[in-house]
Amino acid sequence: MAGTKKRNKNHKSLIAENRFKKTSITSLRNKPSQKKKSKLPSNSSSNFLIKIFKKITRFFLLIIWGLTWRASLIIFLGITSAVSYYYVNMKEFSSFLDERARGSVTLEDYKGEVFAWRGDNFSKNLTAKNISPHLRNAILATEDRGFYSHFGISPRGIGSAVFINLKEGRGPLSGHGGSTITQQTAKLVCLGKPFSQADWNSEKDYEDSCRTSTIWRKIKEALYALSLEFKFSKDEILTIYINRVFLGAGTRGFEAAAQRYFGKSAKIVNPSEAAMLAGLLKAPTRYAPTNNLKRSQERANLIIGLMENQNFLSKAEAKFARENPATLSKFAQAKAGGYFADWVMASLPDYLTYETTEDVVIKTTFDPLIQKAAEEAVRSVFRNQVDQHSKAQAAIVIMSPNGAVRAMVGGRNLRGTGLFNRATQALRQTGSLFKPFVYAAAFENGFSPNDLVSDEQISMDLPGSGPWTPKNYSNTFSGEVTLSKAFSESLNIPAIKISESIGREFVSELAKRFGLFSNPSNGPAIALGTSEATLIDLVGAYATILNSGYKVEPFGWETLKLKKNKREPLMAKSEAPDKQIISSQTAEDLIFLMSEVIRNGTGKRAQLLNWEVAGKTGTSQSARDAWFIGFSKNYIAGVWIGYDNNTPLRGVTGGGLPADIWRTAMEEIHSNLIPTPLLTNKMYTGLGTNNIKVIGEPSSFGKSLGRFFNRLFNSN
């Protein structure tokens, strides 16, 4: 029992000891070392910083979130307000199709075919639905393939364009635009702000302001594009775009461009034509086919590739379009008649032409085939007979006997517009071209082509100038000659004697009645053509001779109509009353004299095979001007050659290069016509009974001068 108690006591003692050991070990384990005790302050500081950082971050995130949603709300409200403002103030759809302050002028030839335009030519009858499907697809493929799916702007497109611009070393807004068709439309309509003379000096300034590329302007265009999307359907937006966009050569809208380049409607253009038109959107002037057809065709091939890649064209269709590129219409190819068109425009009131607010159509007397002959004559003679570096200029006018001008060349630049027109604006000394009017004065006073005149040296004292001793071009004298011979050889002395014997004032007055010289020279040299006139006035005066002495006024237009009402002419050319300037007999005598010039005189180089023609050469003082004017029964043409700065011509007379140009043009014009007699059967043979008196001898004109006065001042 005692042993049992002892064991129990020992057992309890062992348990207590073990319990003490465990407690001691646990205490030792839980008791931190001295080193760990030193790190306690560091952990507390780190935790504190983390807590502070988290709080600050949370604070700023809350601020950013607050600012973001507030800024977002403000931006949203701003966009909504701007779009709403544009939407509320946006005009009706129809008003967007044409907002010009000026109208256009379309010029038609004598057959009614268009050959020229002035001002921006618009067409307003094109819609997204009636446009050629090929053209619509070409526009979408080129400008905005996602047009029918986006909401007016393309952030991805804008970002891509900015990236490309920066990569290529340009500014972010320079070069690629990234604009959708809707954004481009916003720019075309100038954010809905119409032209006002109070705000801009000119329409050009207005359009320049509409095309600015600042960031603020781009933002406004994007906002306006959004409002367009809310206001109009996609087809309506596309309709505005295709009617407003500039496409070169004075055309706005695809209908006008298709008519200008191809002579057909934009509703029926084929894939190659559609590609060429769409290619103009990038750079209208550079890619205009009238400027460089090959470049335009190369650009069109790129568009065809885009159409093929976007499944608008099959592989076979694209191949066919490339192999059959678009070409210009024959009238667009010709690009002719610029001088004529400018002259017609200037002959009508400004409010119906340059300042018109309506679209005007003018039917003219222009004949493109005759114009082509005139241009080719000038081109070929200068190419083959004149130094290629020569700065000499040329002009030619061709008209019908009634004064209807059929062709006009105002200079060697045959493709310009708005150029100086030497046919209508240049006042030049007429030289011997004036002699028909001197001889007309003689014939009006009873003299005939076979009467005699003395070709001998003369000298005259001119007050303030001293002695004047005129000479013939050849520096020789022929003695007594008929008026016919004196005229055909363009002798100066006989012309002076006729003028002095009859009276310079009579010659001067007669010339005025022909439409020449508002202020002619009054010295004896008037007979030699020292006064100045324009080519077109001289051709009109010669046409009066061809017209049996009845006055002919050159004209270039027949009717003027408004495009919106082409049935009723706004203006029409009225028939001028018959006004006889010289008798029919005098006109016939002059025609005979001028036919002798070409048969046997100074104008032999102007002879036309199988045709009776008449004409006169002219060379002004010091050979500064060389002329030839002549006619058949069907047409009359005049040619001038000279320098703008009045430099004398070397080795050129009216019977040379001007006669060659005249013959070259007239041969082509008459090639398909049946020869028509010019002269009557009357033959001028034998010598006349009247002799022109030598200067200083008594004049024998008494009664004939009375008749001349009566005809001169009493005719209607």
| Residues 148-177 pLDDT 10s | 999 888 776 666 656 665 666 655 555 555
**Residues belonging to the chain:** 716
pLDDT of residue 208: 78
Distance separating alpha carbons of residues 421 and 76, to the nearest angstrom: 61
Window from 139-143, 296-300, 336-340 with minimum mean pLDDT: 336-340
To the question of domain 427-530+686-716 being in CATH 3.40.710.10, the answer is yes
CB atoms within 10 A of CB 13: 10
What pTM, to 2 d.p., does this model score? 0.76
639 touches 396 (CB < 8 A): yes
Confidence of residue 212 (pLDDT cuts 50, 70, 90): confident
Distance separating alpha carbons of residues 239 and 139, to the nearest angstrom: 12
For the domain bounded by 367-426+534-591+598-678, which CATH number is listed?
3.40.710.10
Of 461 and 40, the structure prediction assigns the larger pLDDT to 461
Token pair for 403: 């004064």
Of 548 and 70, the structure prediction assigns the larger pLDDT to 548
pLDDT of residue 342: 94
Beta strands in 312-423 (DSSP E): 360-364, 393-399, 405-409
Residue % of the chain over a pLDDT of 70:
82
Token pair for 247: 């496409």
CB atoms within 10 A of CB 14: 10
621 touches 532 (CB < 8 A): no
pLDDT of residue 265: 92
Q: Over 80: is that where the pLDDT of 128 sits?
A: yes
121 touches 251 (CB < 8 A): yes
Distance separating alpha carbons of residues 595 and 601, to the nearest angstrom: 9
Token pair for 32: 């931190």
Of 73 and 616, the structure prediction assigns the larger pLDDT to 616
Distance separating alpha carbons of residues 84 and 79, to the nearest angstrom: 8
Q: Which phi and psi angles does 308 have, rounded to 5°?
A: -70, -45
Distance separating alpha carbons of residues 41 and 38, to the nearest angstrom: 7
pLDDT of residue 527: 92
Q: Over 90: is that where the pLDDT of 242 sits?
A: yes
CATH of 128-334, one of 3.30.160.20, 3.40.980.10, 1.10.3810.10, 3.40.50.10490: 1.10.3810.10
pLDDT, tens only, 577-610:
789 999 999 999 999 999 999 999 999 999 999 9
pLDDT of residue 72: 72
